[in-house]
Chains A and B, each alone.
Chain A
Amino acid sequence: GENVEQHPSTLSVQEGDSAVIKCTYSDSASNYFPWYKQELGKGPQLIIDIRSNVGEKKDQRIAVTLNKTAKHFSLHITETQPEDSAVYFCATVGGGFKTIFGAGTRLFVKA
């Protein structure tokens, strides 16, 4: 069945360092790949997304790469700040509009 694996489950970095989160997926029909940030007591919030016809996208300190052949995509956060601390989820969306989430990465940014 459809599955999204996300690694690592926990990531601790020093303020100013970079953080990388990786995801792999199984559904070949996936064509949209959003990333969400979830803070305590809140719902997930979209931070960046990428479509299947694009290999890379950047928005200020955040970038996402997609390798459709290998079925994996990654989130890169540069110059991390304490306010980046949260749980990050990758997700895939296919033709059925069903969003499949990864299990999440808890990011700690130490000041």
Chain B
Amino acid sequence: ETGVTQSPTHLIKTRGQQVTLRCSSQSGHNTVSWYQQALGQGPQFIFQYYREEENGRGNFPPRFSGLQFPNYSSELNVNALELDDSALYLCASSLDVGASYNEQFFGPGTRLTVL
């Protein structure tokens, strides 16, 4: 059984550019959540996908969008990058939805730097 993996590990972009981050869920997991973790802060919930549909969203603007594929891998897309988007982006996978007790398994994150 493989854990949650993310790519790339590090990324440097400039303001105004677009970025796509990728996440491969743990085997058998059908739910993925994305988080933004600024330096020295706790992760902030961006959105969650369950069986390819957005299941919930945090306080992030529409330029943050996502996709979940039939194999339950996922992408986070950010358009019109701003300096404040510099952060560690984490994805977490879990099995099922319908109970809030489902344990989330986090990937190692993608460190995005916006210059």
Contact = CB atoms under 8 A, between A and B. Distances in A.
Contacts of B100: 31-32, 93-95, 97
Give the bracket for the number of chain B residues in contact with chain A.
Answer: 20 to 34
Contacts, number: 62
19 contacts: A4-B42, A31-B100, A36-B106, A41-B108, A42-B109, A43-B4, A43-B109, A46-B103, A49-B101, A91-B42, A93-B100, A94-B100, A97-B48, A99-B35, A99-B104, A103-B40, A103-B41, A103-B42, A104-B42
B31 to A, nearest CB: 8
A52 B65 CA distance: 32
Contacts of B48: 97-98
A4 B103 CA distance: 19
A97 to B, nearest CB: 5
Given A98-B48, A103-B41, 4 more contacts: A43-B92, A101-B35, A103-B42, A104-B40
A101 B101 contact: no
